[in-house]
Structure 1
Amino acid sequence: MKSLPRLSPTSYALLGLLARGPATAYELNNIMQTSMLRVFWPRADSHIYSEPKKLLSHGLVSEEKEKVKGRDRTNFTITAAGRDALAAWLAEPDAATHRNQAEFMLKVILAEGGSPDDIKATLARALETTRTETRMAIAGIQHIIDSPEAGVRKGMPWNGMAANLMADILIARLRWAEYATEAAAAVPDDSDRAAKEDIGLAAYQRALQRLQAELDP
């Protein structure tokens, strides 16, 4: 039996989408960038657009070229080998770790290198961005609930379960941004090092108590 090629999680994500039906690279990227997948596996457009050709080279998808309204269009379809690879990946154990990447959090963690106004502006943007993303999530979930067509409701019931983690993350981000914005406003611009350490240690203590309460109520 031929061994499976080494693939990235992004490759498997696209195989999973193609297992639901044929799609173009544009359609795959649109799903990756606008659906719940973006919350848990964000990737640049260029990365996603390069994946179908890689899958094609491994025989995991096939392609069919056509012209639509004078434009070239390439549809990708998962092959039997692609379904086998997807099934093998889904059965693999993993570390079940969750990693977040957020540039604004780097600015928060390293904020002492800038001005008080800089960090306050960063936190204000974080709060507004999270509110916008929450509104988008609400609209997306409402669309799924209100749309009976099967194409909108693919991935049930697991996508519904994943939506609850997405909701928890967005709610946590909202609460944190509100807390951090208020806490930053309470820090005097002329605070000395000792005062900043006291405020920081109080925040660490708050985090510790909340974690302990969740793990061992």
Structure 2
Amino acid sequence: MPVKHGLLALLSRGPATTYRLKKDFDLTTGRSWPLNTGQVSTTLRRLERDGLLERAAGASDDDSAEPWRLTDAGRDELARWWLSPVSRKHQGRDELMVKLALAVVVPDVDVTALVQRQRSAMQRLLHDVTRARRAVEPGDLTARLVLDHHIFTTEAELRWLDAVEGELARAGHGLPSPSAATPAERSEVNR
């Protein structure tokens, strides 16, 4: 979720100061995506520049205590965002996926050790998030949803790491580098 849409959504509840928006964003995301005040301030000024929000009447440019509010264009943008499904088309940019893809073609990288280190880190994260989820009050729907998402995505990454290990075992860790392999060999490896 772009930060800008998160801030627009929070402003749809009514005017709010930069500090209040930062605090509400952190609380709403279960502090899983903490923002710093500078990031919030910069995003708000960009949204103002784009005509999606405005300062309360009489507020100076530097006065962060004055509330921000949505413009009609901001409400329209937020409505478009609510109606649009989230695109997963850029998942290939995931750092771990790229790291592992490179590790299998770069000499002298212990891919199995890399997978094991990542698995250990993910298991610690899953333990921590599960413990945090158990501590959530029954009425705190926002925190439950956010933490459940973290649990499910961490479990999925652990399953993917198991699949990576299986592929590495079947390949015998002997994958040729893309530049050294012939087109037929590359085609065989990609099957």
How far residue 80 of structure 1 moved from its aligned partner, in angstroms, is 5.2
Are 2:10 and 1:17 equivalent residues in the alignment? yes
Equivalent of 1:138 in 126, 130, 141 = 130
Paired position in structure 2 for 1:79 = 70
Cα gap change, 1:121/1:96 in structure 2, threshold over 3 Å: closer, same or farther? same
State the alpha-carbon separation in 2 of the partners of residues 45 and 186 from structure 1. Answer: 49
AA in 2 matched with 1:153: L
Are 2:108 and 1:123 equivalent residues in the alignment? no
AA in 2 matched with 1:56: E
State the alpha-carbon separation in 1 of the partners of residues 37 and 112 from structure 2. Answer: 31
AA in 1 matched with 2:6: A
| TM-score (normalised: structure 1) | 0.53
Q: CA RMSD in A?
A: 4.6
Are 2:141 and 1:153 equivalent residues in the alignment? yes
Cα gap change, 1:105/1:95 in structure 2, threshold over 3 Å: closer, same or farther? closer
AA in 1 matched with 2:141: R
Secondary structure at the counterpart of residue 141 of structure 2: coil
How far residue 109 of structure 1 moved from its aligned partner, in angstroms, is 0.8
State the alpha-carbon separation in 2 of the partners of residues 45 and 130 from structure 1. Answer: 29
How far residue 147 of structure 1 moved from its aligned partner, in angstroms, is 5.1
Equivalent of 2:42 in 46, 50, 67 = 50
| TM-score (normalised: structure 2) | 0.58
Judge conservation of contact 1:29–1:49 (CA < 8 Å) in 2. Answer: no
Cα gap change, 1:79/1:97 in structure 2, threshold over 3 Å: closer, same or farther? same
- Between 1 and 2, higher relative CO (CA 8 Å, sep ≥ 6) is seen in 2
Secondary structure at the counterpart of residue 110 of structure 1: helix
Secondary structure at the counterpart of residue 90 of structure 2: coil
How far residue 140 of structure 1 moved from its aligned partner, in angstroms, is 4.4
How far residue 178 of structure 1 moved from its aligned partner, in angstroms, is 3.5
AA in 1 matched with 2:124: T
Paired position in structure 1 for 2:158 = 174
Cα gap change, 1:50/1:125 in structure 2, threshold over 3 Å: closer, same or farther? farther
Are 2:47 and 1:27 equivalent residues in the alignment? no
State the alpha-carbon separation in 1 of the partners of residues 35 and 167 from structure 2. Answer: 32
Paired position in structure 2 for 1:97 = 88
Cα gap change, 1:130/1:19 in structure 2, threshold over 3 Å: closer, same or farther? farther
State the alpha-carbon separation in 1 of the partners of residues 13 and 142 from structure 2. Answer: 7
Cα gap change, 1:137/1:13 in structure 2, threshold over 3 Å: closer, same or farther? same
Between the two proteins, what is the percent identity of the paired residues?
18
How far residue 170 of structure 1 moved from its aligned partner, in angstroms, is 1.9
State the alpha-carbon separation in 1 of the partners of residues 3 and 127 from structure 2. Answer: 26
CA deviations 1:5-59 (Å, max 9, x no partner) are xxx94311221234356352643664588656x5xxx999976552122223325
AA in 1 matched with 2:9: G
AA in 1 matched with 2:99: K
Cα gap change, 1:143/1:95 in structure 2, threshold over 3 Å: closer, same or farther? closer
Aligned residues: 172
AA in 1 matched with 2:129: A
